[in-house]
Structure 1
């Protein structure tokens, strides 16, 4: 929960497929990245850090069916989302290739990358 703006949400989202689908690597990388991100945030929280805004972590299902998971969730919480969400961080297909990592972010998010 955010310390200064608990009613303002940053949504960090990723999708997941079944591990047995055509692209198990994509499923594994998306799930691993969001899990690692949650762990990193929680380690900072345990050291006393609190985000200014509330962070909501989401893992979406149904991407093979028109993103039905995130769509339905958005429909269910439409009014809250329109009023309170200030940012969405997408971790959709976050890893590809085998070269070095070169993260890019806006200045306000640089400390997270």
Structure 2
């Protein structure tokens, strides 16, 4: 895995997660689960895209906004993965859910920490 942003845990985790989502999406495509595959691909890869975009945010507020979008995309991805797990793909979906839960915790912490930094600057 080669990522141009070095030593950034959340960027790296999301890049690998997107790769794993795309691999699972191919399994769904091969099983003719096109709607699930397409929706999961969109939301699952959007998490990392928004986090990458946040790396060049114009302000802390912009940074938080992009991370909040990533958090929403993570919620949507969780929904699609839970559906996949329920309809017969538990072995493929569960590891991705486990990976996603770690990402969600990190994203939530980054949003919280950045918000606190913004608040402490204005006080």
If the TM-score is normalised by the length of the shorter chain, which range does it land in? 0.3 to 0.5
Q: Which has the higher helix share?
A: 2
Q: Which has the higher strand share?
A: 1
